[in-house]
Amino acid sequence: MRPLIAATATQDRPLPWGWLLGALLVAALAYAASCAWWPFAHCRKCEGRGKFARKDSKVWRRCRRCKGSGTRLRFGRRVWNRFARVRKAAS
């Protein structure tokens, strides 16, 4: 007894692993390049405003997450910074 369905599915259409890996590599490179060009993104908590208004909008307080700047470091850039710091410490 052979598992017919599985056998035919894998034999008829093999997954294009080369294409998938290539696309993944291209996407990773594009993301790395974009992180190099634009290291900052809007703060998620205050959506780039850097401050919050009370309901009556008379009192403003600073966003604690981004310390009022309204920006945050992107994930890819944070990883890169950590990598650079480790490399600097090693040399």
Q: Which residues bind Zn ion (CB under 5 A)?
A: 43, 45-46, 63, 65-66
40-42 and 71-73 beta bridge pairing: antiparallel
Which residue, 47 or 79, is less far from Zn ion as judged by CB?
47
Which residue, 51 or 82, is less far from Zn ion as judged by CB?
51
CB of 55 to Zn ion, least distance (A): 18
- For residue 48, CA distances in Å to 26, 40, 76, 77 come to 29, 10, 19, 18
Which residue, 9 or 53, is less far from Zn ion as judged by CB?
53
CB of 27 to Zn ion, least distance (A): 28
CA 71/CA 69 separation, integer angstroms: 5
Length of the chain: 91
